[in-house]
Amino acid sequence: MDTIEKTLLEAVADLHSVPEGAYNIRANGELSGRSTTANIDIVTKTDKPGIDIRIKPGTKGESVHIPVIISQSGLTELVYNDFFIGDDADVTIVAGCGIHNSGDDESRHDGVHSFFVGKNAKVRYVEKHYGDGDGNGKRVMNPHTVIVLEEGASMELETTQIKGVDSTKRVTNATLADSASLVIREKLMTHGDQFAETDFTVDLNGEDCSANVISRSVAKDRSKQRFLSRINGNNRCAGHTECDAILMDDASVCAIPEITANHLEASLIHEAAIGKIAGEQLTKLMTLGLTEQEAEEQIINGFLK
Amino acid sequence: MLELKHIGYTVTDGDKPIDILNDINLTVDERFVAITGPNGGGKSTLAKIVAGILPPTSGQILLDGEDITHLSITERAKKGVSFAFQQPVRFKGITVHDLLSLAAGKPMSVSEACSYLSEVGLCAKDYIHREVNASLSGGELKRIEIATVMIRGTKLSIFDEPEAGIDLWSFQNLIQVFENMHEKKGGSILIISHQERILKIADKIVVVANGTVSDIGTPDVILPKMLNQSGPCSALTDKLK
């Protein structure tokens, strides 16, 4: 692995070398390393590009890393990763995609991730997107996430895209059975002429299931963001969606929350706020000796932390 | 030492100029100076002018003899002016620890943060990782605000009505904070307050009313005059009779 690839790996997975436990590293469209454990198996799909990750019931405290890195300009790929998480398991899955594009052609990674989470299992899924490189070629990522939570299952999804991705369309569809719970935290920063679209659909089908979808974003320069969050309450359930965006320069942000209650006992809330950094926040930090620019950085760093 | 020379601040309402401050002359050389006076008299405006948040329309501000009238908020902060807001600002995502570190100008250890927070009556354990957001009460925010100024320990610390929004129980502790600060801290404290107990511990009281300094002196001279004032105007007293 060369320096560029190592930098990408560090940016998307906080990894300095090969991780502990199970992992599958995909570099420039090919398998670059894989490790399985007694409880976690990773198998290459035979019918289409991608892998199946099978986690045995009752697996506790283990993690799976599946970073994808692209440093070859002009490479485009569509990958299917399916996760089968056994009943009562408690695992962390770290995915991420880093693209370094120093050429003129578009580099693109479209990943379809499906999670089938068994009864009472707990999953923490962390996903980071990062792009760099000084070429004119665009860095594009379109992740599609499908989540199926069985009875009592819970999943926390943290997704971060802070830098360097020119265009992204993120689609997430989740269905929840009885007593299942889902928390989605999205952090997004766009700059230059970037475009980012987020589209969440959550079907709260089970009794006493709950979902919380939280997005915090910063839009700089001439970038554009579009946030759609759709929650359907089809049973006695609780749903909350929140979009909080800081707008800067000539950027634009569109937030479209949509909540639908199809059951009398469905309790659904949506909140959305878009605005520039409050002047008094800048003033306060300037009275502590920070310059206006430093104050702005601190406010944004805190907001996206 | 802070010197204000002929400070004026005028705003316009349509075409009509309104004087908020008019020819304010004041020297703050003592350890603890309190500014008091009726609401709307120009006290907060004066404090904001000293901190650089508002530019004066006329006059000059000197800090240790140096003209700081045209310096920015940041430059004044670096020269040694600190300001505690009457209504502290909330920040999403910035923790109490982050804010205290920003005030200190360097990453602060938990034990250091603890010593400052305990001085304002907060237990660091409960607060250090909390965000400075709407989940904190007005009183808690106010104490954190005071801590940010204490940490800086600059030559001039300005507090704009620290007692506002604080319940009675917390107020007792707050008085203690200022009594301690009066004893310990170097530099001058300039505090805007209506509270007799705060005014009492001042070295000097400045009464600002109708945009000017209407009286100035030690607490034993000023306080009796304020307490013996005729009170409300006849329109109100007549109704009460």
Q: Give the mutation candidate from B44, B53, B89, B144 for the A interface (greatest A CB count, under 10 A).
A: B89
Which residue type is seen at B223?
L
Q: Do B74 and A283 touch (CB under 8 A)?
A: no
pLDDT tens per residue across span B30-65: 999 999 999 989 999 999 999 999 999 999 999 999
Task: Report pLDDT for B64.
Answer: 95
CA–CA gap between residue A93 and residue A66 (Å, rounded): 8
Asked if B217 contacts B204 with a C-beta cutoff of 8 angstroms, the reply is yes
Q: Do B89 and A280 touch (CB under 8 A)?
A: yes
pLDDT tens per residue across span B75-121: 999 999 999 999 999 999 899 999 999 999 999 998 999 988 988 88
**B91 has a chain A CB within 8 A of its CB:** yes
Q: Do B148 and A288 touch (CB under 8 A)?
A: yes
Q: Report which of residues A102 and B5 the model is more confident about.
A: B5
Q: Do A283 and B73 touch (CB under 8 A)?
A: yes
In chain B, the residue whose alpha carbon lies closest to the alpha carbon of A277 is B91
Mean per-residue pLDDT, B10-21: 91
**Which residues in chain B have their CB less than 8 angstroms from residue A304's CB?**
93
Residue A250: other Cβ atoms inside 10 A: 11
Q: How confident is the model at residue B233 (pLDDT cuts 50, 70, 90)?
A: low
Is the predicted pLDDT of residue B230 greater than 60, yes or no? Answer: no
Give the residues of chain A that fall short of pLDDT 50: none
Q: Do B74 and A216 touch (CB under 8 A)?
A: no
User: Would you call A18 exposed, middle or buried from its count of C-beta atoms within 10 A (0-12, 13-18, 19+)?
Assistant: middle
- Give the β-pairing of B204-209 and B212-217: antiparallel
Asked if A215 contacts A228 with a C-beta cutoff of 8 angstroms, the reply is no
Q: Considering CB atoms only, which of A283, A289, A303 is closest to B78? A: A289
Task: Report pLDDT for B185.
Answer: 61
Is the predicted pLDDT of residue B158 greater than 80, yes or no? Answer: yes
Please, what are the domains in chain B? 2-240 (3.40.50.300)
CA–CA gap between residue B28 and residue B189 (Å, rounded): 9
Inter-axis angle of helices A292-303 and B96-104, nearest 10: 160
Q: Do A302 and B89 touch (CB under 8 A)?
A: no
Q: Considering CB atoms only, which of A281, A289, A291 is closest to B91? A: A281
Residue linked to tokens 């299942």: A180
Eight-state DSSP code of residue A303: H
pLDDT tens per residue across span B184-203: 767 899 999 988 888 998 99
User: Would you call A35 exposed, middle or buried from its count of C-beta atoms within 10 A (0-12, 13-18, 19+)?
Assistant: middle
Q: Do A287 and B83 touch (CB under 8 A)?
A: yes
Q: Which of A116-120, B63-67, B176-180, B212-216 bottoms out in mean pLDDT, i.e. has the lowest?
A: B176-180
Eight-state DSSP code of residue B188: E
- Chain A residues with at least one Cβ partner in B under 8 Å: 216, 244, 278, 280-281, 283-292, 298-299, 301-305
**B127 has a chain A CB within 8 A of its CB:** no
DSSP letter for each residue of B193-233: ---HHHHHT-SEEEEEETTEEEEEE-HHHHHHHHHTS--S-
Q: Give the mutation candidate from A244, A288, A294 for the B interface (greatest B CB count, under 10 A).
A: A288
Query: Where along chain A do its domains lie?
Result: 1-135
Q: Looking at this predicted complex, what is its ipTM?
A: 0.91
**Which residues in chain A have their CB less than 8 angstroms from residue B68's CB?**
none
Q: Do A303 and B93 touch (CB under 8 A)?
A: yes
Q: Do B77 and A244 touch (CB under 8 A)?
A: no
Asked if A14 contacts A40 with a C-beta cutoff of 8 angstroms, the reply is no
Inter-axis angle of helices B168-184 and B138-152, nearest 10: 0
Whole-structure pTM value = 0.83
Q: Considering CB atoms only, which of A287, A298, A303 is closest to B92? A: A303
Q: Considering CB atoms only, which of A244, A284, A289 is closest to B89? A: A284
In chain A, the residue whose alpha carbon lies closest to the alpha carbon of B148 is A288
Task: Order the strands of the B32-36 sheet from edge to edge.
Answer: B81-84, B156-160, B188-192, B32-36, B204-209, B212-217
Distance from CA of B144 to the nearest CA of A (A): 13
**Which residues in chain A have their CB less than 8 angstroms from residue B55's CB?**
none
Task: Report pLDDT for A47.
Answer: 94
Q: Considering CB atoms only, which of A244, A288, A303 is closest to B102? A: A288
Task: Report pLDDT for A202.
Answer: 98
**B159 has a chain A CB within 8 A of its CB:** no
Q: How confident is the model at residue B231 (pLDDT cuts 50, 70, 90)?
A: low
Distance from CA of A277 to the nearest CA of B (A): 10
Task: Report pLDDT for B237.
Answer: 61
Q: Report which of residues A76 and B231 the model is more confident about.
A: A76
Task: Report pLDDT for B118.
Answer: 87
Q: How confident is the model at residue B174 (pLDDT cuts 50, 70, 90)?
A: confident
Task: Report pLDDT for A4.
Answer: 73
**Which residues in chain B have their CB less than 8 angstroms from residue A278's CB?**
89
Residue A99: other Cβ atoms inside 10 A: 30
User: Residues 169-208, chain B: which have Cβ within 8 Å of A?
Assistant: none
